Amino acid sequence: MKDSALIPLVSVQSSNHFDFLLYSLFVFVNCRRYKRLILCERVSHNFRLGHYRYIIVYENSIKLPTRGVLDIAVTIKDVAKLANVAPSTVSRVIADSPRISEATKRKVNEAMGKLGYHPNLNARSLASQSTQTIGLVMPSSGDVVFQNPFFPTVLQGISEGAHEKKYALHMTTGKSEKETLEAVVEMVQGKRVDGMILLKSKVEDKIISYLLKRNFPFVLIGKPYKNVEEITHVDNDNFRAMQEATEHLIMQGHHQIAFIGGCLELVVTVERLLGYERALRNAGIELKNEYIIHEEFLREGGQEAVKELMSLENPPTALVVVDDFMALGVLNTLDELGISVPEDISIVSFNNVLLSEMVKPPLTSVDINIFDLGYQASKNLIQKIENSNEPIKRIIIPHKLIERSSCCHLKNK
């Protein structure tokens, strides 16, 4: 005889005939050597596949009611019946409402235990209008971000923050900008999530406008291009960070400093570029256009750019690179060109991922605390979800220049 575990699906060919279904069940029960089968509730005449409930009786003694032939789940009603209370009472026990007496709670909990009850979260979400889920749009497969550790780390932070408050994550991908927006609409209007985290802010961001218009809770990682006062965001002070990185080089005597950055549509690039320019200007160093490179992360393109840069009449003596991984590419290209770091050229990069200390030479890199970026984002999003009066916030995650061996004082020529 079987124990009271779930019973695998019996294949019922025609769902249109009650008798046939019943018959199938009998056959199934017999061949599995269950003792008896009792249909105990016929949910409606207008029945659908999956609406029958039954009890298995073992060895003539009634055991627990077991569900499962057509994947019928244990519901709150079943628990209520077993505990001899109303469904609403069970619901309140689950919510640990103070209006229920201890005695009843015990009784109900016991029944839940016996039946192996687990609430149906879709039903819960539908009724309570909340999902305990936060939404995320992944960068599309082809995206630059995917190649480097930023994404997983920030995800890890988000996940950690969500986990602490028992929130889950819901993600989709969008291949194009249009698809991405659709994905967001699906999550938001489809009521799949209570709030959203955006992983990057573009200069003209449709998603942000959409969420703003709908007044839907969201947190942005990065700095909004506009509406700064209306958007809770968590960011580094990228302007300062880059300024400091550049100043670090300046203090080491470098005047010819090039900037290697990413897509100018990303606000972070813009900010950092400004910080770079400020540092140079403060030091009275002239800005040179040919020292500023925006390359997508593709290695080949990067190589080209670096080669061009180094073959200028006055090649730079130092580089600021906005990403460790990109810096690694640069490092390789320099190596090919026979230029050695830091003797011939100094490099400061960003992100301080694990990689940066394992590379030769270890990279001086600005640690922007990616994990915390994600962690604070989800934490603050949840606050916002749970209290709609929560004020707009701007959370700045501190950065720190980690000195390693990719920079050194400019040798006097």
Please name the residues in contact with 35: beta carbons below 8 A apart, sequence gap of 6 or more: 1, 56, 57, 58, 59, 60
Task: Give the shortest CB-202-to-DNA separation in angstroms.
Answer: 30
Token reading at 360: 């030769």
Nearest CA-CA partner of 290 in 270, 262, 263, 310? 310
Task: Give one DSSP letter per residue of 293-321, joined into a string.
Answer: EE--S-HHHHHHHHHHHHTSSS--SEEEE
Can you name the residues that pair with 368 across neighbouring β-strands? none
Among 215, 289, 387, 412, binds a copy of itself (CB under 8 A): 215
Give the binding range for DNA (CB under 7 A) out of 39-47, 148-156, 325-333, 405-413.
39-47
Task: Give the shortest CB-382-to-DNA separation in angstroms.
Answer: 18
Q: Which does 77 bind (CB under 5 to 8 A by kind): a copy of itself, DNA, none?
A: DNA
Nearest CA-CA partner of 64 in 114, 9, 117? 114
24 binds a copy of itself (CB under 8 A): no
214 binds DNA (CB under 7 A): no
What is the β-pairing status of strands 292-294 and 318-321?
A: unpaired
Q: Cis peptide before 342, with omega less than 30 degrees from 0? A: yes
- Identify each DSSP E strand in 139-272 by its residue range: 168-173, 195-198, 218-221, 233-236, 257-261
Nearest CA-CA partner of 127 in 79, 87, 86? 87
Closer to DNA by Cβ: residue 124 or 278:
124
Task: Give the shortest CB-51-to-DNA separation in angstroms.
Answer: 4
9 binds DNA (CB under 7 A): no
Q: Residue 412 and residue 71: Cα distance in Å, rounded?
A: 78
Among 13, 46, 61, 122, binds a copy of itself (CB under 8 A): 122
159 binds a copy of itself (CB under 8 A): yes
HSE on the CB side for 217, CA within 13 Å? 25
Closer to a copy of itself by Cβ: residue 61 or 122:
122
Among 100, 208, 241, 382, binds DNA (CB under 7 A): 100
CA 98 to chain centroid, in Å, comes to: 35
Burial class (CB in 10 A: 0-12, 13-18, 19+), 321: buried
Closer to DNA by Cβ: residue 84 or 314:
84
114 binds a copy of itself (CB under 8 A): no
166 binds DNA (CB under 7 A): no
Task: Give the shortest CB-371-to-a copy of itself separation in angstroms.
Answer: 8
Give the binding range for DNA (CB under 7 A) out of 96-104, 211-219, 263-271, 308-316.
96-104
The residue ranges that bind DNA (CB under 7 A) are 15-16, 43-49, 51, 72-73, 75-77, 84-89, 91-92, 94-95, 98-101, 103-104, 117-120, 123-124, 126-129
The residue ranges that bind a copy of itself (CB under 8 A) are 5-6, 8-9, 50, 71, 73, 118-123, 125-126, 129, 131, 133, 138, 141, 146-147, 149, 151-153, 155-156, 159-160, 162-163, 168-173, 175, 185-187, 189-192, 213-215, 299, 325, 328-329, 332, 335, 354-355, 358-360, 371, 388
